[in-house]
């Protein structure tokens, strides 16, 4: 069993309209999700639990469910950075977030195209969904 905490304002997104997002995660990963308050418990095969955990974590970090569902594909991974580790004050954290996003989202879009990733800036984190470096290197050389 795995557990993941989700920000309160993202719990509804994890569940989805009529429970559709939760159901899709369970079907894509052959796991069962139990959601209580902002805590999600995941039961199933350990490898599938890991995939489900990444999906829930990505949605919790601001990704829309459709982007998070890509994590069920082989070679796709999720990572996030805590901006607080790179900036001490809230002003400097906001400045860093602004640099990642850019004017009207242009910097984020450019980074996404150059790195073949999806990026989400949410709270004090920057999240990435894309091919792991091993798979990305293979796709470029092949």
Average pLDDT over residues 128-137: 75
Please give the domain boundaries of the chain with CATH numbers for all domains.
1-72 (3.30.1370.10), 74-142 (3.30.1370.10)
Average pLDDT over residues 44-49: 96
Average pLDDT over residues 75-88: 94
Question: Cα 66–68–73 angle (5° rounding)?
Answer: 100
Average pLDDT over residues 126-139: 74
Backbone angles phi, psi at 37, to 5 degrees: 55, -120
Q: Using CB atoms within 10 Å of the CB of residue 100, give its burial: 0 to 12 exposed, 13 to 18 middle, 19+ buried.
A: middle
Dist. CA 140–CA 38, nearest whole Å: 40
**Is the confidence at residue 142, as pLDDT, over 60?**
no
Dist. CA 69–CA 74, nearest whole Å: 12
pLDDT one-digit tens code per residue, 84-113:
999 989 999 999 999 999 999 999 999 999
Residue 137 — very low, low, confident or very high, per pLDDT cuts 50/70/90?
low
Residue 132 — very low, low, confident or very high, per pLDDT cuts 50/70/90?
confident
Give this prediction's pTM: 0.89
């Amino acid at each position: 069993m795995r557990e993941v905490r989700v920000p309160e304002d993202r719990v509804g997104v994890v569940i989805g309209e009529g429970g559709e997002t939760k159901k899709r995660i369970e079907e894509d990963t052959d796991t069962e999700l139990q959601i209580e308050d902002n805590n999600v418990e995941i039961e199933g095969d350990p490898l599938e639990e890991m995939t489900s955990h990444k999906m829930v974590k990505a949605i919790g970090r601001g990704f829309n469910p459709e982007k998070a569902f890509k994590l069920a594909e082989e070679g796709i991974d999720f990572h996030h950075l805590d901006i607080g580790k790179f900036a001490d004050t809230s002003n400097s954290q906001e400045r860093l977030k602004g640099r990642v996003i850019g004017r009207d989202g242009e910097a984020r879009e450019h980074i996404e195209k150059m790195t073949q990733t999806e990026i989400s800036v949410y709270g004090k984190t920057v999240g990435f969904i894309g091919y792991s470096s091993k798979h990305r290197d293979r796709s470029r050389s092949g």
